Amino acid sequence: MSPSPEPYVVEDCRGVLQLMSDGTVRRGGEPAFPADVPEDDCGVEWKDVAWAPEHDLNARLYRPRHLGAANDARIPVVAYFHGGGFCIGSGRWPGFHACCLRLAAELPAVVLSFDYRLAPEHRLPAAQEDGAGAMSWLRARAAADPWLADAADFSRVFVAGDSAGGNIAHHVAAKFGKTGLFPPLRLRGHVLLMPGMVGEARTRAELECPADAFLTTEMCDRYARLSLPAGATRDHPAINPAGPEAPALGAVEMAPVLVVAAERDVLRDRNAQYARRMKEEWGKDVEYAELAGVGHGFFVTDPWSERADELVRLVRRFVVDHMDSE
């Protein structure tokens, strides 16, 4: 009897995740991309907690060490979801950690960075379900943890995410609306940073994406193959929330949305289409900003750049403008 052939790699995601020919999944422990983290942590203190131990999911919680003249005042809350094509990533990776340090220090805000189940072991909509579960966990935890309660104003909650995390932020917005977690959480806005969205019909940015881009059309297709339910197309609402199969959101009372796109991102056109349909067809309060000269994930891969500074200023202004809006 001949020996069984050795399994070989069928799909590879940045060397961090490999799907083998026998169906097994191999994951590496090292982050897919490095990022610098300052020694003083930007004046922010943080801790890790298990938010869904049944799925081995953690959250990293951040708050400024000193709140200055407003030391006796509570500050807004940002629930953050990392990127990674629904397949890779963790809030503990240096790039995502650096982003949350900046948001906590410069907004300022209490930031909660939630991990979620990853594909292909857990296909969509598992990630979006975990997004909703994380918000429910926060609702239950709000008054129970003095570390959070002493600093956080739970009537001023924003949901944010980068790439796949931006997609999760959209689904949280659609599920809970403005008041679905109240009391004590009041959702004031959603921040979608280069949100992860694909579709069957190719956009110009997808057709013209250079092969050496940080995120390419081929990579998007690979993430979709690994994350979508069996038999689903790229128009599945989980991954194309403004596409032809997506449920209409006109009746959902959603908090304002900030969509930040990147000029050189393969997702640029998809993000613009999403913002346009949300605003023009479904009547949502949507602000769209496109940052020049940068590609997908620049905030995570280069969190201390001038364009990252611009992004943080955009988010800060959005939070200030909407933290007391009705």
* Active centre residues (catalytic): 163, 265, 296
Distance CA 309, CA 207 (A): 30
Q: Which helix (H) or strand (E) covers residue 102, if one does? A: helix 94-106
Residues in the chain: 326
- Separation of alpha carbons 253 and 325, rounded Å: 14
Burial of 230 (0-12, 13-18, 19+ CB in 10 A): exposed
Provide the token pair at 76. Answer: 């807004």
The residue whose two tokens read 């796949």 is: 164
Q: Which residues contact 270 (CB under 8 A, 6 or more apart)?
A: 197, 198, 199, 203, 205, 206
Provide the 3-class DSSP secondary structure of residue 94: helix
Pairing mode, strands 152-162 and 257-262: unpaired
Residue with tokens 């940015």: 205
Say how far residue 102 (Cα) sits from the centre of its chain: 15
Report the relative pairing of strands 286-291 and 257-262 from DSSP bridges: parallel
Distance CA 45, CA 63 (A): 6
Residue 148 structure tokens = 């959070």
The CA distance from 9 to 247, in Å, is: 36
Burial class (CB in 10 A: 0-12, 13-18, 19+), 33: middle
Structure-block tokens of residue 147: 């570390």
CA-nearest of 163, 161, 326, 314 to 256 is 326
